[in-house]
Every structure is written in structure tokens, then in C-alpha cells.
Structure 1
């Protein structure tokens, strides 16, 4: 009888573990999901008047993922919390900087490693102008995850 009780406990523990794994895993995957936004859509923001297309307005406050290149705003060489996301490595910060609709100010919830190549940034998009020492950005992204672009 003890064997059956012990076997039942192990089976229940395995089932509970699988359920917990599915629930936690699906939440993690949900944070990586979001509308894929490309730079042509971001370019529809008129940074002079602040007006944008209805498609872009619909993304305000939504989960998105945007490809690009990181321009750190901090001196820390390993861990970065704030950076600008730009569409190409040639759009690095120079004089004059890229137009505001071609820069996304990213504020990560938790620090991330400095990325050298192309990346995806997942987070919540806000259509607000953010000022930085390198120029204005027409968008803010509250970042959740940075991953290599594949």
C-alpha cells in the first residue's frame, strides 16, 4: 500500500510541475510576443507636428518588437539600461543625428548586455518624444528583452 501512495505522490508532483512549467513558460513567451514593427512604419510619425498614421497610433501602449542597433547612453561597457535603437549601424550618433522618427529611446526594466550587432528589442511602445544628449527620439520603448536578430 505504501508503494502505491508513494507512486501517487510522485505522479501528482510530476503533474503539478508540468502545469507550473506551462504557466510560467507561457508568460515568458508572451513577453517575447508582440507586433513586429519596422522602421517604415515608425517613419510615418511626423516629428514636427507630432501626428502619425492610425496604424502607428494603434500601437501606442502595445507590446511590440523592433529590430535595430543599440547606441548606449551610459558609460558602463557591460550592462546598459538606457539606449537608443536606430535602424542601421550607419545611423550612429553623429552631427546631425538621425531624425527623431528614426530613433527609439529604450529604457530596460532590467539591465541588459551591450549589443554589438543587430538586435530585436521587445517591450511596450509609447508615442512620446524623448530627449537625450544625442538628439530627440519620437518613441519610447519600455524594454523587456533584448535578443540577437536572426
Structure 2
């Protein structure tokens, strides 16, 4: 009888471990902008080059061949950033670009494609202030997208948007 009790305890421990592992696997991975740049790639720093004055050459998107991190494809992630609205109405935004700093693509040149995420969210999300940082959670894909504003290296189907808190 002791054998069956020990076997039951071992099975319960294994079952508990598997359940906790599965719940961790479903948690989105918190990533940051540097995680979107492959290791070893020397990224152009567009923030230092950005200027509100000068010629139109300041508005050209740099490094259009900037590589993406293919291992992120299909992963559930959370990424903080700023919104550049693309689609929606006065109440909600259903499509936007997520960028690493305020004003990217609007007031200063766009960053390289691997530093922009094209986001869609079914049903939309109210954005209280476009000046505030947010955190977007969803499934990220290494797909390109091009629009009038910029070329993008990642797409995300969002499931949630929240204010960014330090």
C-alpha cells in the first residue's frame, strides 16, 4: 500500500509542476525595444540624429534593412511604447504604430523598421492621452508593413493595452 501512496504523491507533484509550467508559458514575456534588435547588429540611433529643423533629409527613415529577431515570431509579449494612431474614431483606436519614444514618425523621423510595431486590436481601445506611454500585450510577428508614415518590421495583434507605470 505504501508503494501506491508514494506513487500518488509523485504523480501529484508532477501534475502540479506541469500545471504551473503551463500557466507560466501562457504569461506574456515582458520585452523592451532593445530586445527587437538582433544581438550583434549595430543599430543607428535616430533620436540623436532627429531634428525639428532643417531639410527634408531629416525625415527619411534610416536603416530600412534593419533585421528583426525571428525568435520572437508568434510569441505572446508585453512591450511599452508610445502611440502613433492610424485607424479609429474619436472614441477608440483600432490600429496604430507603437514606437519607442514620443513623437517618432510625427515630430521626428521614424526609427528603423525593427523599432516600430504595427498594432491592431479588435474592438479598439480608448487612448486617454496620446502623450502618455502605454504597454501593449499581444502576439508579435516578424512581418513587415508599410504605410505613408513608415516601414515596419513587426506586427502585433493586441489583446490588451494599459498605462505604462514605472
Q: TM-score, normalised by structure 1?
A: 0.68
One of 142, 149, 160 as aligned partner of 1:134: 149
**What secondary structure, in the 3-state scheme, does the structure 2 residue paired with 1:77 have?**
coil
Question: 5+ unaligned residues in a row in structure 1: which ranges?
Answer: 1-28
Cα distance, 1:51 vs. partner? 4.2
Q: Deviations over 1:74-107 (max 9, x none)?
A: 2622211100000111324246322211110001
* 2:47 matched residue in structure 1: none
Please show how residues 44-123 of structure 1 align to structure 2 within 5 Å.
Answer: 44=38, 48-49=64-65, 51-52=67-68, 56-74=69-87, 76-94=89-107, 96-116=109-129, 117-123=132-138
CA distance in 2, matches of 1:147, 1:35: 15
Aligned residues: 118
Q: TM-score, normalised by structure 2?
A: 0.62
Select the structure that is richer in helix. Answer: 1
* 2:159 matched residue in structure 1: 144
**What secondary structure, in the 3-state scheme, does the structure 2 residue paired with 1:40 have?**
helix
